[in-house]
């Protein structure tokens, strides 16, 4: 079983549409991070959420951490082709170390 399940696995939408991707787990986490990875590059951190129920906004991206700190969502408003990429959620499951455990990822394609 996956520690972090992301859905949907693939998403293809037209430019200007809105979308939401999800990251779910049965475990509780002290914090959760969202990354975006573009082809040929490594993941880049978008946001870290730490408080249950927290909502953070980054331009057209809205991130929410579940009240129980077991799940998170990423909502994109008016998607643009530049939003195309692999969206990954990640947590640090080990204390005393900062290695990351990544979810399965959502591959988003925004069609012009």
Interface with other proteins by CB under 8 A: which range of 11-19, 55-63, 71-79, 103-111? 103-111
82: DSSP letter: G
Count CB neighbours of 26 within 10 A.
Answer: 9
Interface with other proteins by CB under 8 A: which range of 12-20, 56-64, 69-77, 100-108? 100-108
User: Does the footprint of other proteins cover residue 42 (CB under 8 A)?
Assistant: yes
Dihedral sign, Cα of residue 40, residue 60, residue 10, residue 33:
positive
- For residues 72 and 34, the answer to whether their CB atoms sit within 8 Å is yes
Interface with other proteins by CB under 8 A: which range of 12-20, 38-46, 55-63, 68-76? 38-46
Among the listed residues 1, 14, 96, 112, the single contact to other proteins using CB under 8 A: 96
Measured from the CB atom, is 18 or 51 closer to other proteins?
51
Dihedral sign, Cα of residue 27, residue 74, residue 65, residue 44:
positive
Tokens of 57: 């906004």
Question: What residues does 107 pair with on adjacent strands?
Answer: 10, 86
Q: Which residues bind other proteins (CB under 8 A)?
A: 4, 6, 30-31, 40-45, 48, 50, 88, 90, 92, 94-105
């Amino acid at each position: 079983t996956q520690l972090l399940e992301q859905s949907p696995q693939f998403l293809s939408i037209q430019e200007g549409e809105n979308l939401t991707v999800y990251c779910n787990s049965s475990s509780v986490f002290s914090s959760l991070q969202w990354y975006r990875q573009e082809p040929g590059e490594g993941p880049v951190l978008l946001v870290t959420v730490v408080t249950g129920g927290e909502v953070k906004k980054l331009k057209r991206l809205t991130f929410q951490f579940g009240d129980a700190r077991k799940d998170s969502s990423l909502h994109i408003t008016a998607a643009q082709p530049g939003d195309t990429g692999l969206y990954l959620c990640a947590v640090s499951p080990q204390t005393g170390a900062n290695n990351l455990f990544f979810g399965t990822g959502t591959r988003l394609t925004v069609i012009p």
